[in-house]
Amino acid sequence: MNILDRFPVFRNKAAKSKRITEGSNVTRPGATVILTQPQRFGIGLGDYMQAIRSAENVDFTRRVRLYDIYSESLMDPHLFSVVQKRKSGVLSRKIEFRRNGIPDDKVNEQISSPWFLRFISDALDAEYWGFTLVQFYINTKGWIDYYLAPRKHIDPVLRIIKTRQEDINGESFDNYGNLLMIRGKEPLGILARTAPYVIYKRGTIGDWAQFSEIFGMPVRKYTYDAADPEALHNAMEAAREQGGGMDFFCPEGSNLEFVETGNTTGSSELYSSLVERCNAEMSKAVLGNTLTTEASETGTQALGTVHQDIEQELEEQDALSILNLLNYDMTDIFAFLGVNTKGGEFVYVEDADMEQVKTRAELLEKAVTVFGLPLDDDYLYEQLNVEKPDNYEQLKAEMEEKKKADNPFASLGQIPAGNNTQPKNRVPFFGQAPDRNGALEW
């Protein structure tokens, strides 16, 4: 049966909706968006400030230049690694759909396919880019899939899709079906905070490399007789035969001198400390700390634990935002795609640590044997992370019968099961011991 036949409420919406397509000036010129390659390198702090002003323009928001800077910023290894580190705290968790506490296999089959993990990753990127816009559809194999709209072609304020990234006008979101706009907490995203430090860091490393090239290798100085025309030629030939390096040719009577701002060791440390500071600022902007990514001379274990807790709090916020997205924002889209999520919810499956399970089992054992606390069987199954068998009632009855067979006096009330005390009416083998007046009279 067609999806539209099962959900007639979406028939009119689907009839006027269409898919977003992409192409270039050469291939598929009639596509919805005509892609343009991002600007690479040569980005300075002035470009960044101009991009921020254009993106914050109230009447005509233009984010092309800013998103080119974002794309270039993620080429920085440190920034890329801390972003992936925070995202992995959510991507490594398993999500499951349950209805009345029971997993729904039909829904879980869809979210176990590759598209779902990609979608969670793109949804988390909204925190860094400011937003994520996707369009869902059913692919030729019958699985759910989606298209990630290029952010440079999207105006999230006017809600339009631009054919070319520099256009001012475009088509309304209403002309396309099954669109999902995912917004981050900040309109421009976290990358707006980290981009300046990437620019500073790149310039510093470039100056550092030039410094190492000049002062890291010895300079060969050749002195020649200015009156001899062949002397300079012979000196240059000798330098060429000695391989690479920096050479200076000075006529006799001249002098070559390097004027430095300080000793070379101190200058090198200056470059290194500035690069480390830029990395630290990027770590704080993404993870909220620095000690979970790099060691510090003043860092302690207690301080590292505090920083780890801050990072985990951010990951918990990201994880909660994903559940809210699935349980609330995507309800209509799931219904249109033929996935029935009514009456259920998406939850995270907690993988129990074996050490925690062992400790919990020991505490429960003491609660029953030492303190005699009555505990519900279902609660024990849940706490021990053990699946309850389908024939639970039958197995329970068999265990009770086995107990009676092992202790036949338990049902008679003469020797209570698990109790070594004597019955009340039983005559003791030994006589009564004397109380306080010595031996008894015989």
What is the CB-side half-sphere exposure of residue 59 using CA atoms within 13 A?
0
What are the angstrom distances between the C-alpha of 66 and each of 14, 138, 189, 242?
34, 33, 11, 48
pLDDT at 378: 82
- Specify the number of domains making up the chain: 1
Q: What is the mean pLDDT of the chain?
A: 81
- Spatial separation of the C-alpha atoms in residues 336 and 362, rounded to whole Å: 49
Number of other residues whose CB lies within 10 A of the CB of residue 193: 16
pLDDT tens-digit profile of 331-357? 999 998 989 999 999 999 976 555 666
pLDDT tens-digit profile of 53-91? 999 998 888 999 999 999 999 999 999 999 999 999 999
Residue partners of 426: CB distance under 8 A and separation at least 6: none
Q: Tell me the torsion sign for CA atoms 54, 56, 62, 65.
A: positive
Rounded mean pLDDT, 160-186: 93
Domain assignment of residue 363, given as a range: 355-401
pLDDT at 7: 44
- Spatial separation of the C-alpha atoms in residues 55 and 295, rounded to whole Å: 36
Q: How many residues does the chain have?
A: 442
Tell me the three state secondary structure of residue 34: strand
pLDDT-derived band at 12 (thresholds 50, 70, 90) equals very low
Q: Report yes or no on 362 lying in a domain.
A: yes
Number of other residues whose CB lies within 10 A of the CB of residue 186: 14
pLDDT at 260: 62
pLDDT at 219: 72
pLDDT at 256: 66
- Spatial separation of the C-alpha atoms in residues 141 and 246, rounded to whole Å: 63
Q: Which residues pair with 145 in a beta bridge?
A: 137
pLDDT at 367: 80
Q: Report yes or no on 255 lying in a domain.
A: no
pLDDT tens-digit profile of 365-421? 888 888 778 888 888 777 777 778 888 888 888 888 887 777 665 555 554 544 555
Q: Report yes or no on 56 lying in a domain.
A: no
Is the predicted pLDDT of residue 221 greater than 80, yes or no? no
Residue partners of 70: CB distance under 8 A and separation at least 6: 128, 129, 189, 191, 195
Q: Report yes or no on 364 lying in a domain.
A: yes
In this structure, which amino acid lies at residue 119?
F
Q: Report yes or no on 79 lying in a domain.
A: no
Return the top range by mean pLDDT from 46-50, 55-59, 301-305. 46-50
Residue partners of 308: CB distance under 8 A and separation at least 6: 289, 291, 292
In this structure, which amino acid lies at residue 133?
L
Q: Tell me the two tokens of residue 64.
A: 């092309």
pLDDT at 2: 47
Q: Report yes or no on 384 lying in a domain.
A: yes
Is the predicted pLDDT of residue 252 greater than 90, yes or no? no
Rounded mean pLDDT, 167-182: 93
